[in-house]
Amino acid sequence: MYEHVLIPTDGSETSEHAVDEALEVASRFDATVSALYVVDTDSVGISLGAEQVDRIRQGRFGEMDDLEARASDATAYVAERARERGVDVEEHARAGRPASVIADFADDADVDLIVMGSHGRSGLSRVVLGSVTEHVLRETHKSVLVVDTGHAGEDAEDRGGDGE
Ligand code: ATP
Ligand code: MN
């Protein structure tokens, strides 16, 4: 049913739970995984030249600053966990507006399932969904599995001790 699963990742700890769940699905369906990190050029203060955008696509982060280097770390985490489970994985990086890039990538690469976290790096569990996930849901016609990552990490205490 699912042959190609897309895991968009922002490299946040909150998202690691989503990665595990995505790989569990991929493994059961014997699907190939594409891990995708998008360097968010929408963020204030980031503007990349054509040469940098190219370099990102080619995965050449070595020469770049911390922000872009996060890309290789993010997808490397997914790749490592995938290999542990014997799941075929490819790492991809792009630059642009994350939600649009994710939706376009899903079309271009013939993805049949997108698995992503409800929250990511900003991790504001007060909002129902992170903005990237919300926009992907609006912009793609692919199936999307949204893993609840909103209560991970520092927000755990706010739940008032429900036994976890
Ligand atoms: P916001 O960014 O709206 O302040 P947030 O960071 O908590 O809130 P999102 O950015 O929507 O929430 O993150 C939810 C999921 O979206 C992440 O788990 C990840 O799967 C995906 N995602 C977010 N940013 C990126 C990115 N730059 N590249 C790839 N995937 C991303
Ligand atoms: Mn975010």
Half-sphere exposure of 5 (CA within 13 A, CB side): 30
How confident is the model over 105-120, as pLDDT tens digits? 999 999 999 999 999 9
Could you tell me if residue 163 is inside a domain? no
Interval between CA 131 and ligand 1 midpoint (Å): 7
Question: Which runs of consecutive H residues, i.e. helices, occur in 29-164?
Answer: 50-57, 66-84, 98-108, 131-139
* Domain ranges, residue 116: 4-148
Best probe residue, ligand 1, of 91, 101, 132 (max atoms within 8 Å of C-beta): 132
Give residue 119 CA to ligand 1 midpoint distance, Å: 6
In a domain, 119, yes or no: yes
- Give me the pLDDT at residue 160, please: 44
Query: What CATH number does residue 122 fall under?
Result: 3.40.50.620
- d(CA 9, CA 76) in angstroms, rounded, equals 10
What confidence score (pLDDT) does residue 51 get? Answer: 80
* Digit-coded pLDDT (tens) for 49-104: 888 788 888 877 655 566 566 777 899 999 999 999 999 999 999 989 999 999 99
pLDDT tens-place string over residues 11-52: 998 889 999 999 999 999 999 999 999 988 877 666 778 887
> Is 69 within a domain?
yes
Residue 64 within any structural domain of the chain: yes
- Kindly give, in sequence order, each residue whose CB lies less than 8 Å from that of residue 145, ignoring residues fewer than 6 positions away: 21, 22, 25, 113, 114, 115, 116
**How many folded domains does the chain comprise?**
1
Q: What is the pLDDT of residues 109-153, one digit of tens each?
A: 999 999 999 999 887 777 789 999 999 999 999 999 999 998 654
Confidence of residue 8 (pLDDT cuts 50, 70, 90): very high
Please state the atom number of ligand 1 nearest to the C-alpha of residue 135: 11
159 located within any domain? no
- In angstroms, what is the span from residue 9 Cα to ligand 1's centroid? 7
On whether residue 162 sits in a domain, the answer given is no
- Which pTM was predicted? 0.87
Q: How far is the CA of 127 from the centre of ligand 1 (A)?
A: 13
The answer to whether residue 122 sits within a structural domain is: yes
Which residue among 121, 134, 140 is best mutated to probe the pocket of ligand 1, counting the most ligand atoms within 8 A of its Cβ?
A: 121
